[in-house]
Amino acid sequence: MLSNVPGMPRSARAPITGPAAATVFTTVLTEGPVSRVDVARRTGLSSAAVTKAARPFIEAGYLEELASGGRTAPGAGRPANPLAIRPDREYFVGVKITGDDLIGVVTDLRADVRASARHALTGHDVGHVVRALADLAGELLSDPGVRDRAFCVGVAVSGDVDRVSGVVRYSPFLGWRDVPLAELLQDATGLTTTLENDVKALAVAEKWFGEGVGASTFALVTVGAGIGSALVVDGRVLRGAYGVAGEIGHVPVAEGPACSCGGQGCVEAIASGEAILTRARQVTGEPALSMADAVTRARGGDEPLREVFAAAGHAIGLGLAALVNLFGPERVVVSGEGVATYDLFEEQIRRTFEVHAFGSAARCRLAVRPLPFEEWARGAAAVAIQGLFAADRG
């Protein structure tokens, strides 16, 4: 346990007490420096409401007023001092759990990474993972200047995650069911722990600090060990009644192989890294074929292997078209470790998407954004930052 991480009274933490405070703080965080007048214009709040909401943040050191340079707000008789985030007021730990590693970062309030580290996982036993994550957090917080201002950790894990209860309901890659991970980690680290599905966590970071900035609606789709997706509607990650809204990886698109979810012919069963490699070994008759060799040979013109990647691209294109037809986002961000081989199925993805996207939905922009796992950990930290807005924040 990080026994040297001190607690801090609620009065010394970010004083977010209601929707107006959250709106003002988020606006300055993602769009600042910005004047009170501009915050009011962008949010629809009155100038008085903005001033009232901002004052406690300034007093607690989360916001600061910058010199105006003598500018005045339109129609106002005094300088319009822009509000800005003080990024080093608080630090946040973010951890991405994979089947093989823990990838951790420390970020400031703007989710800029200040430190990063990796620890190998030698097993998936819950106790082992909790101990390894506590050790990783201790390493990341070795600097006393950072440790004394770090109170929260965000953890991103694949699968069905209940953020409210902090329970991993099902993670196929870890073999977990109904694991109260947030509680276990909070006991082990002494840090307030927020648990989130890894793709949703990445979507939070993209919404605030990446490709989603300025878009009221967008979707994030990840291609790799699985096919993940997250939807952002009116600036909020859409969870649905059961927390799994937008899971196109488990949309059946063909009469195909069995999926880890129990279904058949799902996008993930055809287009995940494991599914592609399994099919590549079948068509070549080489049970020891590696993904690296399959990629190299496909790029070299091996037609049967190229068809395997094209089939994966077709399945992804069908999933994207279904997502866009139902949801209508302004843009779709395609990311994940599988994007490194995007050249092998990009053409098929786009062709299938254009054929099956309904009407003007085909104009939705597909943006490819390769991201290392450190960015996923940054997404977990962004979820911890988002915890500043929780009404029951400790």
User: What's 181-250 look like in SS3?
Assistant: HHHHHHHHHCCEEEEEEHHHHHHHHHHHHCCCCCCCEEEEEEECCCEEEEEEECCEEECCCCCCCCCHHH
This prediction has a pTM of 0.82
The structural domain count of the chain equals 3
Whether residue 67 is found in the same domain as residue 141 = no
**Token code pair at residue 21:** 């405070």
Whether residue 260 is found in the same domain as residue 169 = no
42-94 pLDDT, tens per residue?
Answer: 989 999 999 999 998 898 899 999 986 545 445 554 457 899 999 999 999 99
CATH code, domain carrying 74: 1.10.10.10
Whether residue 319 is found in the same domain as residue 243 = yes
165 phi and psi angles, rounded to 5 deg: -90, -15
Last residue of a domain, one of 66, 85, 104: 85
Asked whether residue 63 is domain-assigned, the answer is: yes
Asked whether residue 2 is domain-assigned, the answer is: no
Whether residue 107 is found in the same domain as residue 69 = no
Asked whether residue 181 is domain-assigned, the answer is: yes
**Token code pair at residue 3:** 């026994």
305: nearest Cα among 325, 326, 276, 327: 276
Asked whether residue 238 is domain-assigned, the answer is: yes
Residues of the chain with pLDDT under 70: 1-17, 68-79, 243, 389-394
User: Which segments of 76-216 are extended strands (E)?
Assistant: 83-85, 91-97, 101-107, 113-120, 150-157, 160-162, 167-171, 176-179, 192-197
Whether residue 238 is found in the same domain as residue 177 = no
CATH code, domain carrying 225: 3.30.420.40
The alpha carbon of 194 is separated from its chain's Cα centroid by a whole number of angstroms, namely 13
**Token code pair at residue 201:** 């966590």
- The average confidence (pLDDT) of the chain is 87
Quickly tell me which residue has 């919404």 as its tokens.
207
251-272 pLDDT, tens per residue?
Answer: 899 888 988 888 889 999 999 9
C-alpha triplet 177, 179, 181: angle, nearest 5°: 145
pLDDT at 11: 33
Whether residue 323 is found in the same domain as residue 294 = yes
Whether residue 232 is found in the same domain as residue 335 = yes
Last residue of a domain, one of 85, 100, 134: 85
Whether residue 288 is found in the same domain as residue 382 = no
Asked whether residue 208 is domain-assigned, the answer is: no
171-212 pLDDT, tens per residue?
Answer: 988 999 999 999 999 999 999 999 999 999 999 998 888 888
Whether residue 277 is found in the same domain as residue 161 = no
Whether residue 138 is found in the same domain as residue 255 = no
Last residue of a domain, one of 85, 118, 138: 85
Whether residue 363 is found in the same domain as residue 218 = yes
Range of the domain at 137: 89-203+375-389
Whether residue 380 is found in the same domain as residue 351 = no
Asked whether residue 16 is domain-assigned, the answer is: yes
Asked whether residue 48 is domain-assigned, the answer is: yes
Amino acid at 60: A
Asked whether residue 288 is domain-assigned, the answer is: yes
